Structure 1
Amino acid sequence: MFHSKSIKWVFFGVLIVYLASFIYYEKWDTGIIGGGDSWGYNAYLPAVFIHRDLDNLKTTYATRGKYHPGFESGSSNPLGTDVALHIGDGKQVIKYTMGVAILQAPFFLLGHLTAKIFHYPADGYSLPYIVFDHLSAFFYAFLGLWFLMSIWRKLFSEKITLLLLISVTLATNLYYFTAYNSGMAHAYLFGLYGLLMYGTDRFYENPGWKMALLIGFSAGMITLIRPVEIFCLFIPLLYALKGLGNRIKYVWEHKNLFLLSAIAYGLVGTFQMIYWKSITGEWIFYSYGNEGFNFSDPHILSGLTSFHNGWLVYTPIMVLALLGMFSLLKHRDWFWPIVFFLPIHIYIAYSWWCWYYINGFGSRPMVETYALLSIPLGYALSFLNTKRIGSYVALFLIGFFSLLNLFQTYQLSKGIMWSETASRAYYISTFGKTKLNYQDLVHYESNEPQPGLDNHFKVRELYYNTFEDSLDENYQRSVVHEGNFAYQLTKEKTYSPGLSATLGELNATPGQYLRISAWCFKETKEPSWWRMSLMVGYFEKEGQITKFRQTWIGNKLQNRFMSLWGGQAGVWDEVVFFVKIPPTASPEDTFKAFIQNSNGYPVYIDNFKVELWDRK
């Protein structure tokens, strides 16, 4: 039923789906020019080839900023960005290693040539550069996938190979990190792992210098991109292991090839060492500043199962891969590489200070493991296909998880769902939705379920400030919702007047709701949604915060589609959210409500109100 032509057609069909998605999502206007990891990976290229400022990045950063101004404002680095580390004397060390930049370099140069031909600014950040840089992720991901398929076809039937191809590309967040957020490192790493596995398999089948070089280069690039991936060396060292003595003998018999591979591996890393030495004077330099690992307190369970970007929550098809690992006891070529590599990779990944890894969909450090995990996934699918009912189950799961993955990526693109700050309740409330309502939006941001407004409530006003009775310089007349004055929040004045009172003074009891509202206006749209101003309400007991809730203001202003990052500038709108008094609250507990300007862009508020809502 399935032939090699079928697999090739599906392979190119998937590639078309990825490219069509990339065009649909139009993500070339963010990421690399927007700042963050993508810019840090790429910054070497314009700094070396165009602006010649690799030691200070001043022109490179200023040029990027023209395309996405204000995105990284607030950094402690005098350059204005957190993707580089200032080491004094104006010198900047790029936070990220140069592996991705090396892989992007041929595509960057194609972008440079295209910019010259079609009269785009030849500055490293105009449209041709960004498109070609993103397309490089497609090239390496699908290159690795192509060679990975040769391993699948050795181990599995063509039907299982076809199912694996669909599963890995459409049912996992490899799709997100290639078609949507391709400036990150993970599509490149996946492709390199595919090449490493192919080279390893071929080397042990027929030892030769070509595969030795491929192993050394691919493992070296993996380690260069993410140094903690050094454990990828378990793959060529432990593949098809049948005893330590036999492996030592094999290495000795082919010592020249292993030495060649080791030299290739080491040479790749010398580029980074030369860069560090030239900037810092040190051959090895830790460029992440105060960020690091906490190996004594890893968040493994949360990293795997949390709705806060947990791996198996957003890539559930990988549960089958984990179950399929039992089959490796019978099919042992890949047993030791996977059994050694995977636990160490998981432990290191979820020991990182930010174990939920922002700027992604699901758990992004697991994307590169899909090359290895495709082997046990294939065995799991093979097991299911031994019986007709099992084959139907496999087809259903692959189809469902693929549609879920594609749909949730769409949700994320529209600001309906954002996995890095999601909760179980919010995941359930937005499941299958193509549009949010106001209550959904507030629930997501505050992690506070909002009461249905169709319920009957008794309402009592607790605090009301119209900003009409003060000579404070922040009371101004230029932008007003009602009356003569509104209150202006700026970079210098970040907090508004607000309510601070005990629950006893408010005559409020547990189970009741406090409704916080204000009419708000922003002059300009924020460069990113997480820099929007905040409406805040929280409870204190003996000076300790017992419950803290907040919601963004900017995306509540005339947000027709209720997107997480929607909202218009230059319009007034009312922002409202409810906070439920916790069951453990006592009359002595204090409640505080105010508005905070998080970005320095002027925000105006009027008619700031707090009410007590109690069900009749």
Structure 2
Amino acid sequence: ATNTTYDADGFSKPYQWALILYGGLFAILGVIVSRKILLRFFNDNVTAATLLLMFLGTNIFFFSTIGNEVPHVYLFTLYSFIIWFTIKWNENFKPVYAIALGLAMGVTMAMRQSEIIAAIIPVFWGVSSYKTFTENYQTLWKYRWQVVIAIVVAFMMILPQFFYWRTFAGEYFLNVYNDAGSTLNLKNPRFAYVLFSFRKGWFIYSPLSLLAFFGLYYCWKHYRLFFWPIVLYTAVNLYLIASFTSLVSYGWRAFIQSYALLILPLGCFTAYILQKKLYVRVLTALLLLPLIILNIHQAWQTNMEVIDGSRMTREYYFRIIGKNIVSDEDRSLLMVDRSVTAYDTIKMTSGLNLKSVLNLNFEDQQTEMGDSGTPKPFDGQGIYKLNRDVPFSPGIKTTYNSISSDYFFYLRASVYVYSLADDIREKLYLVITTTTPDKKDLKYRAFSFKDLNIDFISGTWNKLSYDYLTPEVFTKEEIVQSYVWYNGEGIAWIDDYTIDAFTPD
């Protein structure tokens, strides 16, 4: 970038293209290693057909070409190396392959700590029965010093990441998925949602991935050498992905590295088909070709934002099949558009039902009227007083499903405020929050007059109001709460505190 007119900031075009090219080269390296693995078990024809099916027929095509700026294509290649070095070490037990395996494992875990599950591959490789399991254990014990060396090398690869976190985040281990909306909920795995939802289901956007699972049958019959590591890894990986509350991507990119393993049962399926008569091979090709074309076109649609990474629905999916351009009418079939800023706006109320969820006029606070300097209520006979001793107003605290059973709704909150204090514009907040049942914030908003760029005129009633779109919820038992908070030194009065809900149901 320093030799061009572009900014040397890490984000300009030269850096973007460098990232894309590097990702492409890494993907090619993954293909080369995958070919070497396949040739260990299959002939050239099966290997070539399997690679074509995998890389043209699944979403790895998108993430190894157009969308390769994410780490998953690198993980795919690293997983390929893990498999390759596992094969080589089991052939001759040379220390060099143990070191190489530790190196690949370490870099993989440095990229994503959850990839420690890749250890399933070398531990269970070659296990086909209880007898072979014990033999495998005995082998690991026999070469235990090589195993220790591999573990040490892996740890050394992770160590710089620990020091990086310590230097820039103050911790040796940093969990970047620490907000309630993006966390691991092992008690509530959503298998059907992950695999078959039209929002981003793996088998919906990569239907040819199913062929690898069909191939597991032939794996069991003919290649038990790698059957159990594939099944165990896939089961654990699927459970973890299904338990994660937020992975926004086209066709669940978290499965991309799995293809390094799944290419083997896909090879089993391909070998089975290629052994059949000509008409079976031709018929299979005719059935698979449209799905390959669909996959390539959907990758293009994703790049052109015809396919949305997170808001897809069944209706929109079928509306846009084969389309290069979509209309606003088409896009109206997408899920609700969640703002990437702190501010929400109800863009349209048609199709939404209005219901009142809070209407406080503080008629029971008429005793406050005797206070010196108390203003005349904005409406009715009562107002509510906030000060240092009483900083929070009454409000609403209810479960999500008591307002709506749908996946979203809007709230429009408003309150009238009167004060002579100088700090009201900055220190009085209208708060709306959604929390999990165990009190972790999913979405917290607290806006003042200043935040919303609203003037506050002292000595008169001023309206504070904003819209709030609920966050993604998982049980509908989440808690929705709202109140007014005054964090200043003076006195504020509030009146006509209302919240209306706009719900799809």
Question: 158, 170, 176: which one pairs with 1:269?
Answer: 158
The answer to whether 1:343 aligns with 2:235 is yes
Q: Do the aligned residues in 2 keep the contact of 1:317 with 1:397 (CA within 8 Å)?
A: no
Is 1:429–2:319 an aligned residue pair? yes
Q: Would the aligned equivalents of 1:536 and 1:550 in 2 still touch at CA under 8 Å?
A: no
1:549–1:301 distance in 2 versus 1, CA, 3 Å: closer
Structure 2 gap segments, 5+ residues each:
358-402, 411-464, 470-505
Supply the AA of the counterpart residue of 1:340. Answer: L
> Could you say which residue in structure 1 is the equivalent of 2:175?
286
Supply the distance in 2 between the matched residues of 1:419 and 1:283 (Cα, whole angstroms).
Answer: 33
For residue 344 of structure 1, what is the amino acid of its counterpart? V
The equivalent residue for 1:536 is 349
User: 1:420 Cα shift?
Assistant: 2.2
| CA distance 1:295–1:127, change in 2 (3 Å) | same
Per the alignment, residue 415 of structure 1 pairs with: 305
Q: What displacement does 1:549 show?
A: 8.2
Determine if the alignment matches structure 1 residue 396 to structure 2 residue 210: no
Q: Is 1:216–1:262's contact at 8 Å kept on the other side of the alignment?
A: yes
Distance 1:257 1:307, change over 3 A: same
- Residue matched to 1:473: none
Q: Look up the SS of the partner of 2:70 in the other structure.
A: coil
Using the TM superposition, give the Cα deviation of residue 541 of structure 1 relative to its aligned residue in structure 2, in angstroms.
6.3
Match of residue 227 from structure 1: 113
Distance 1:326 1:378, change over 3 A: same
TM, length-normalised to structure 1: 0.54
CA distance, structure 1, for counterparts of residue 305 and residue 106 of structure 2: 37
Q: 1:225 & 1:341 partners in 2: Cα distance?
A: 18
Is 1:539–1:546's contact at 8 Å kept on the other side of the alignment? no
Q: Letter of the aligned partner of 2:37 in structure 1?
A: I
CA contact (8 A) 2:313 2:335 kept: no
Superposition deviation, residue 547 in structure 1:
6.0
Question: What secondary structure is seen at the aligned counterpart in 2 of 1:298?
Answer: coil
Select the residue among 72, 79, 104 that pairs with 1:193. 79
In the TM superposition, residue 548 of structure 1 has moved relative to its aligned partner by 8.0
Greater CA deviation, 395-404 or 323-332?
395-404
Alignment of 1:128-147 (within 5 A): 128-147=14-33
Worse-superposed segment, 428-437 or 389-398 = 389-398
Whether contact under 8 Å (1:308, 1:420) holds in the other structure is yes
State the alpha-carbon separation in 1 of the partners of residues 299 and 409 from structure 2. 26
1:254 aligns with 2:143: yes
C-alpha distance in 2 between matches for 1:446 and 1:352: 21
Map of 1:118-517 to 2, 5 A cutoff? Answer: 118=4, 120-241=6-127, 243-290=132-179, 291-330=182-221, 331-354=223-246, 357-358=247-248, 360-387=249-276, 388-445=278-335
TM-score (norm 2): 0.66
* Cα distance in 2, alignment partners of residues 280 and 431 from structure 1: 45
* Residue 302 to residue 137, structure 1, CA distance change in 2 (3 Å): same
- Equivalent AA in structure 1 for residue 272 of structure 2: F
User: Distance in 1 between the 2:192 and 2:207 partners?
Assistant: 15
- For residues 225-246 of structure 1, the C-alpha deviation after alignment (integer angstroms, 9 at most, x for no partner) is 1111111001111111252321
Q: AA paired with 1:433?
A: K
CA distance in 1, matches of 2:153, 2:177: 27
More off after superposition, 381-390 vs 179-188: 381-390
Q: Residue 146 and residue 121 in structure 1: after superposition, are their counterparts in 2 closer, same or farther (change >3 A)?
A: same
Residue 214 and residue 532 in structure 1: after superposition, are their counterparts in 2 closer, same or farther (change >3 A)?
A: farther
**2:194 & 2:43 partners in 1: Cα distance?**
33
1:548 to 1:269, Cα distance in 2 relative to 1, 3 A? closer
Q: Which residue is equivalent to 1:85?
A: none
Secondary structure class of the residue paired with 1:181: coil
CA distance in 2, matches of 1:268, 1:393: 48
- 1:384, distance to aligned residue in structure 2 (A): 1.7
CA contact (8 A) 1:535 1:596 kept: no
SS of residue matched to 1:332:
coil
Larger radius of gyration: 2
Find the aligned partners of 1:235 and 1:217 in 2 and give their Cα distance: 15
C-alpha separation between the residues in 2 aligned to 1:168 and 1:129? 29
Number of residue pairs the alignment of both structures matches = 360
* Cα 1:430–1:549 shift into 2, 3 Å: farther
Q: Which residue of 1 aligns with 2:404?
A: 545
Specify whether residues 418 and 595 from structure 1 end up closer, same or farther in structure 2 by C-alpha distance, changes over 3 A only: farther
How far apart are the structure 1 equivalents of 2:280 and 2:96?
Answer: 41
- The alpha carbon displacement at 1:202 in A equals 1.2
The alignment partner of 1:285 has SS state of coil
* Offset of residue 550 of structure 1: 9.1
Instruction: Write the deviation string for residues 543-589 of structure 1: whole angstroms up to 9, x where unpaired.
Output: 423668899xxxxxxxxxxxxxxxxxxxxxxxxxxxxxxxxxxxxxx
Residue 278 to residue 286, structure 1, CA distance change in 2 (3 Å): same
> Is the alpha carbon distance of 1:288 and 1:204 closer, same or farther for their aligned partners in structure 2, counting shifts above 3 Å?
same
CA contact (8 A) 1:362 1:420 kept: no
Q: Is the 8 A contact 2:124 2:133 kept in 1?
A: no
Q: For 1:540 and 1:283, how far apart are their aligned partners in 2? A: 49
Shift in Å at residue 531 of structure 1? 8.2
Question: Residues 533, 162 of structure 1: CA spacing in aligned structure 2 closer, same or farther, 3 A cutoff?
Answer: farther
1:123 CA displacement: 2.8
Which letter does structure 1 place at the counterpart of 2:212?
A
Give how far 1:190 is off: 0.7
Amino acid at match of 1:297: N
SS for the counterpart of 1:228 is helix
Deviations 1:329-388 (A, max 9, x none): 12111112112111010000110111xx21x31111111101100111111111122212
Q: Is the 2:127–2:228 Cα contact (8 Å) retained in structure 1?
A: yes
What runs of 5+ residues in structure 1 fail to find an aligned partner? 1-114, 448-525, 552-593, 599-616
Q: Percentage identity across aligned positions?
A: 24
CA–CA distance in structure 1, aligned partners of residues 304 and 9 of structure 2:
30
Displacement over 4 Å in runs of 4+: 530-533, 540-543, 546-551, 594-598
The more displaced of 391-400 and 318-327 is 391-400
* Residues 327 and 376, structure 1, Cα contact 8 Å, conserved in 2: yes
Displacement after TM superposition at 1:130 (Å):
2.0
Q: Whole-Å Cα distance in 2 between the matches of residues 416 and 306 of structure 1?
A: 18
1:434 to partner: Cα distance: 2.2
